[in-house]
Copies of this chain bind each other. A is one copy, B any other.
């Protein structure tokens, strides 16, 4: 596995592969790799000649009171996992290389960025869109892989890529889950034993909602109430930021089911913020 830290060298490396007609799959990550990331890497390996993984904890997608400083980092463990998966290139730039002092350009996706998580994390999706655009221009991937767990992120990135005519295919892969259904996330490491047990209620609320919707005879308000009731019944949930039924494209709340419906939840357990979602299609 080749470790590259300098954007210019990453670009030259990609150009060389592309000039030989090779395809490049990029899996952008913030490190602290888990099975969710590894599933993206496996998919990328199956579809591309070269797989590049980036590890970069992107400061501009964290709010002032968020967890940038304590975000889990495990470079050695990550590198072992990437080698095991047969990753070709690890791109791990420094913050000052990606954001030099004069940096002042930001990408904003209107509307999509303000909903759901965006309402609780102002600037977050602008930070995501900006760094992903930079990574795409540095790595020049044929395809880039993201997990459905961060559904709104995938929507924002797809819109950015389409709107800015970026030459990359965005591939969204299924959410990987622990045995009790909890969506895998680097932030699960923040949870105490009791919190970790409590966290499975998120999946249960989504799963039962999905089943209720498919069984019929419920409306979106029923589902919203069902989810909120289940979350409220778990005393370790300190805040429910949102729980409801949303348009899978526009991400706005809907009052009637459509062909494709997003059910999504964001809660805080203690100080740890967790999100999850499912698509329910008719």
Contact = CB atoms under 8 A, between A and B. Distances in A.
A138 B165 contact: yes
Contact of A164 (B112, B134, B163): B134
Interface stretch (A98-106, A116-124, A196-204): A98-106
Interface in A20-41: none
Determine how many copies of this chain the complex contains. Answer: 2
Contacts of A140: 167
A173 to B, nearest CB: 23
A108 interface: yes
A163 B164 CA distance: 15
A107 B111 CA distance: 15
A164 B166 CA distance: 12
Given A107-B107, A108-B108, A164 B133 contact: yes
A79 interface: no
Interface in A116-169: 129-130, 133-134, 137-138, 140, 159-160, 163-167
Contact of A112 (B104, B110, B138, B163): B104
A7 interface: yes
A11 interface: yes
Nearest to A138: B165
Contact of A165 (B108, B137, B165): B137
Contact of A159 (B104, B137, B138, B163): B104
A269 B279 CA distance: 58
Contact of A103 (B104, B133, B163, B166): B163
A184 interface: no
Nearest to A7: B165
A212 interface: no
A172 interface: no
A198 to B, nearest CB: 37
Contacts of A274: none
Nearest to A105: B163
A3 interface: no
A138 B161 CA distance: 12
Contacts of A103: 163
A105 B165 contact: no
8 contacts: A104-B112, A105-B129, A105-B164, A107-B108, A107-B164, A108-B108, A137-B167, A138-B165
Closest 3 CB pairs of A and B: A105-B163, A137-B165, A104-B110
Given A106-B107, A107-B107, 11 more contacts: A7-B165, A11-B167, A19-B19, A103-B163, A104-B109, A104-B159, A105-B107, A105-B159, A105-B163, A107-B108, A130-B164
